[in-house]
Each structure stands twice: as C-alpha cells, then as structure tokens.
Structure 1
Amino acid sequence: MPGGRLSHQDRLDIAAGLAEGSGYAEIARQLERPTSTISREVARNGGAGGYRADHAQYATASRARRRRPDGDRRTAQSAGQFGDPRAAYVERFAAMMVDGGLPRMASRVLALLYTSDSRTLTAADLVRELRVSPASISKAIGYLERVGMVHREPDPQRRLQHYVIAEDVWLKAWEVSARTNVNWAETAAEGVGVVGRDTPAGERLTQMAEFFQRLSEDMSGGAGFQDCLSVLAVLWQADRPLSSSELARSLDWPVERVTDAVDYAVKAAASGASGE
C-alpha cells in the first residue's frame, strides 16, 4: 500500500525498472509510491548500478533486527517475509537468460511462461505477474515470436490471445545464440572494410571476426548437425519413438536424409563417449 513498507515484490519491481532504464519517478508511479521513497531505497542499497532486490530485502530485515534486539515478533516475521519464492526464482531464471544474450523483458516473459503450470498466459496475466506496462509485454512477445520461442493461440470463448511457449524452446535459444555469433562476425568484418585491415583497429576487428566465425561454425556444426537438431525437435514434440518414415513425413524430407541425421547423432554420441 502507498506509504507502507516496501515488500520484496516492490523491490523486485524496482530492480526490473532500473534494468529497463526507467527513472525513479516512473518507477514510483508504477508502485504508487513517492519518488523520494524509491530514491532513498536505491541510494542505500547499492545505487542504480548495483541495486539487487534480494540483497535490499535482506539488508532491510537486518537493520530492523538491529533496531529491535529484543526479538520482537513482528520484526521476525518481517525478516522472514521474502515474498513469493516463485517470483524470486523467475527473476533469477531471467537474469541467467539475460547473461546468455536474451533481452531483459523477453527473458522475464519467457521465464514466467516456462515456470507456469499451463505453459500459456494472456497479456493481462503477464502484465499483472511482472508488474510492467502492456507496451513492455507487447515488445517482449514480438521478439519471442520472431525467434520462434513463443506463439499465439486465440481463446475459443473470449477475445483474448494466449501466449504459448514453444515445445523446442531451448533449441530455438541455441539457434538465436548461433545467429548472434554470426552477427558479431559479420559486423566485425564490415568494420575491417571501414577502418582498413592494416590499421591497429583493423587487426583487432579481424581477430574478432575470425573468433566469432569459428564459434558460429562450432555451434552450427554444419548441415549434419542442423538436421540432427531438427530430428531431435520432432522427437521431443512427439514424446514417443518415431520410425524413420514417420520422421520423414513430419519433416517433409526423404527417408535417406533422416537416416543420415540419425547416423550423425549416433557417431557424435560414440565420439563423445570415447573422449575424441
């Protein structure tokens, strides 16, 4: 409530707002708090660049315990009240994906969808759970749809769109990471043409382009590796053994291509087991 103590969820929202580049006034409006409350909270807990919700909650509880050494029951309850553990886990899960290269808000949406029992949420659900604006959700969903991690399904009874996480979402994440490496390599190569290969900057950019090109090739593994991933994605979605002819029909491939992909997987597994 406005004017009351900040909850753990409030602090998670403050951290999310800072990560998105929101100002204190904007965060305060979303939380219906005075701007001074937000600025003091951030200032005494690491500043805008170092604010962490869990740390701020723990530090506040610790200060409360020091002020009440008699072990007041209300203080003990406040110290142990860290909000919804699932919400805290969603934020940690999202932070891991941000470290892996996904945009912050897209990571939060994906983490929430992945930890939802139904695997499907509406825009209103996402706004309510993540405490952000509809525009932020729309932008995040647009990104996740473009990379194939999420798709829409209309509600059969109401005029709503449900957002559903892809069955092969981590395969999609791998592909996004591989494409990112290609972009790094291409951008560095373009820079070489701008500054000149024989310049110090050109040498650095050449090394960068070669590094990310090798990394991209290692991740893609060539056509055999890509076919292997496609077969695994179909098997994952089917959740049962499939014959070569069934896989060929699902992928619209010749049976020989399916067989080659399976052979590639078997050889790769054998090579890994032997340590080669």
Structure 2
Amino acid sequence: MRDWNARPVVVTAAITGADVTRDTNPNIPYTPEEIAESSLRSVEAGAAIVALHAREPDGTPSGRPELFQDAIGRIREKAPQAVINVSTGGADTMSTQERLGGLRAAPDMCGVETGSMNFGDGTFITSPAAGREIITRATAQNTALEVEAFEVGHVISAVRLLEEGLLPGPLRVNLVFGVPGGIDASPEALDAMIRPLPEGTFWSVTCVGRHHDRMLALALLRGADGVRTGLEDVAYIGKGVLAPSNEALVARLTGLATTLGREVATLGQARELLAIG
C-alpha cells in the first residue's frame, strides 16, 4: 500500500445538490448563472472537480438538459480544465430518464448509484437495470463514471460490476457518510467502506452534516484520493455559523489538507489521477 501522503488529494466542490434549500442556507445557488459563478470561485479556491445538480429558478430539483448545458458552458468558458461531474441521482421524485438529463450536457464525469436506500424520510430507488442504463449511456459518450456509495453493499455491488466488465475501470468511488438511512460517520464506518475496494481504486470521501470536518480530516490522514465539501453537504462553516459560500468551504478544506501534510491537486494533476483526458 502506498504512503498515505504519496499523492496529491483532489478536492471536489458540491455546489447545490437537490435537497438543501435557501430555507436551510440562503447562500445556496439555484440558477445556472449562480451555479457557474459559485463553481468558478470554488475552482479558484482549490477545487478541481465541481459536482453539479440543476435547479429550477424556485430551487426545485431539475433534470432539464438545458439547465445543465447553460451552467457547464459558463464554467468551461473560463475554467476549461476543471472536471465537471453531474449527478444522475437527481431527486427521488425523478424518473430514470429525467435523472439522465445532465448527461446530455457532455460532462467529464457523472455519478451512478449501485443500489437503493432509505434517504431521510424518502426512499431513493436505483434498480440494477437503471444503474446499468446509466453506465451504458455514460460509457457510450466517453463520460467517466463515479460510483456514489452510501453503504457497504453499494461498494460491493460496484466491485462486482467492475469484475463482470459492466462498469469500466478504473473504479472511482465516492464514499458518502452521514446520510440518514446510509452508513454512519465514524472511523469504523470508513474502514468498512474501504475494505472491499480493489487496488488502484480512486476513492473519495463525502460526509453530510455535523461530522463533516472530522470525517474529511480522517480521510486525508488515511490517504484518500479525494475529499468533498460544499453547500450540498454542509450548511455551516462553524458552530452556529452558516457557510457564506461554496468557495469558503473549499478554502477551509484546502487549508486543512495542507495542515495535515497533503498536497492539493491542480486541475492537471486531478485529470491525471482520475484518468480523464
């Protein structure tokens, strides 16, 4: 196993998500222009990946391709090397076809869920057939895939798809902690999620909620290839203090990485580590 600090760490900014609204944090971007501006500021602060959902003007989660296209076009105009990762999770009210809307904007990467789960008070369904359809569509247009894993079973399913040749390598996995209905945010949970990963996996860590900072620090010390922050994942930048922006959260995370002895990946390094041209 390589040294924990042998490679630069790739920082992702999760810009808006589908569940957090301005009632929780008034600084959440909604429009394509707001999403693009927040993404560009996050890249300037040290993020190499921007993870995108789309929203209607009132904040409703959306799968409309033109919203993704608008935001991505604005980002690429000013930061062409930034890695753009779109969600195919969308919201639990969307059909599979609606969830595929972001793929029509030709992103660099897209997420894919490899299982279903209870998600807060709702149930998020990704059937094996839906997962395979997302993989097939993304692969056909040379969009790299990142598995979004909320529990150990999702990781094991991803490894099986890789071994069966249905999921193209290299395996990229975002390990998500702290979502009600998913795995908890704890050191033991991180160990359990890492255990099934084959050698050569690019693995990153996301943590939703109050253990956000602790889990990202632990991930950095355990040698994670990537760490993620942003208003999709955490509303507060300190106890009782709402995060003013995505870039503020990114700046805090890059500072933490540097303090813990991790080099933060540049845009070019991130593309190389992710095996994205």
| TM-score category of the 2 structures, normalised to the smaller one | under 0.3
Structure (1/2) with the larger helix percentage: 1
Instruction: Give the TM-score, by structure 1 length.
Output: 0.24
| Larger strand share, 1 or 2 | 2
Q: TM-score, normalised by structure 2?
A: 0.24
